[in-house]
Chain A
Amino acid sequence: MAYDPRRPNSGTSTPQPTPPPPPPPPAPAAAETTEMATALEEAKPADEAGTTDSYKLKFCTVCASNNNRSMEAHLQLSGAPTAYPVISFGTGSLVRLPGPSITQPNVYSFNTTSYNQMYEELNSKDERLYRGNGILNMLDRNRHLKWGPERFQDWVPGMPRVDHLSKGDKGAIGTEGGVVDVIITCEERCWDAVVDDLMNKGSALNHPVHVFNVDIKDNHEEALTGGKAILDLANRLNEAAVAEHRVHGSAGWENGTGPARQSFDEKVPEILADWQEKYPHLPALWTLAWL
């Protein structure tokens, strides 16, 4: 009885704007998600089988336009062997993509334009140019990750995102509740915008969220190395969180000693400091905010 409501739902919304999946370049995880929609039933119980072991932090990646850096990180996080729950946003007022010259960017609005639309439009405008500067490749990658760019300031934390699951967005499993544990921005400006916006939202959920910044230059190469570094950070954070879950879970709180008793939250500054030593060229920042 319990699965019934979700099924018709997924049935109705899948035909909608799901991008046609022509060449699937980021192959490893793509197969998993396409299969996911159909195999939801099996996926769920399997996921819950070892409750404590499969505990995962929920992530959110943020950059200016929700196209390059946050999407690369989105890909890395959702495609990792652990397949983290992840959503992504942009903090700019509009989606800006490079155009024929620096004064003529291609501008789209958030939330209402799909990556597929952008792809088709730029492809028809000047395929050579946009193929050459990598924009088409990027959009192609993006349209296989999720439907379209979303604006952070328009996000209502706690608003269920069940429809994203049915749309086949990668990383949607686990973020149905519209709540995340960790936000990672890719630029200091975005970190400022995110922290500021969370203050404005009034923290109605009373849910703590760690907000990190990993400073990444806005180009494809840096986005790739940055994305991998973010994945590394995510792995370290998740490891600590899982450890905490276990200590307090089966083993029990009293059994741990010393640092093992330290909670995930307490370890965060330490984890970031360690991580920063490995990636000194990606200056990082952190705070604990509220959703």
Chain B
Amino acid sequence: MLSRLHSWTSSRTLAIPARLFSQTPIVPAKPLPPRLKINDSDISISYLKGTGPGGQKINKTNSAVQIIHKPSGVVVKCQATRSQSQNAKIARSLLADRVEAQEKGDKSRVAIKAAAAKKKKASKMKKTRRKYRELGEGAKEGEIEEEEDEIEIIWDDDVKEGENEETESETRGEAKSSEGSGKGV
């Protein structure tokens, strides 16, 4: 009896698809260009010289790694983690980014990434500003109508996607509308 119940519940949970939180399909961002590879054969390691007793007598916690790229003179230092191997990995990817930025300028991976982030932020700011402006107007004139909202969407391309999401979710019950408003802010 118990086993049957168990099988019933498990089949039930399997049958229901995971609920999506967003109604719009997730569009993957444009893939970034691959990171510049720095050859292992081009790497040499030097150690920062220490003085005084070592071994069992002291217990250092310093794990900093510093990489110098000789042709370009770029210096990167990393002490993010306590493991030097991890620090070396991080420093190497940082260095690759720096060297690429120096070589390619605006077309480098970092520049593209920064530009995308900047655009996203600008659009978000615009949306926020508009929302508060509307709220301010709403306080003066009373309630604004739904249709007016939609007319506005048409002239603004940047905001269109996010706005659509919001209005759609508002039409579907309470649980979603709270989520939509969370997104809007």
Answer whether A and B are interacting partners: no
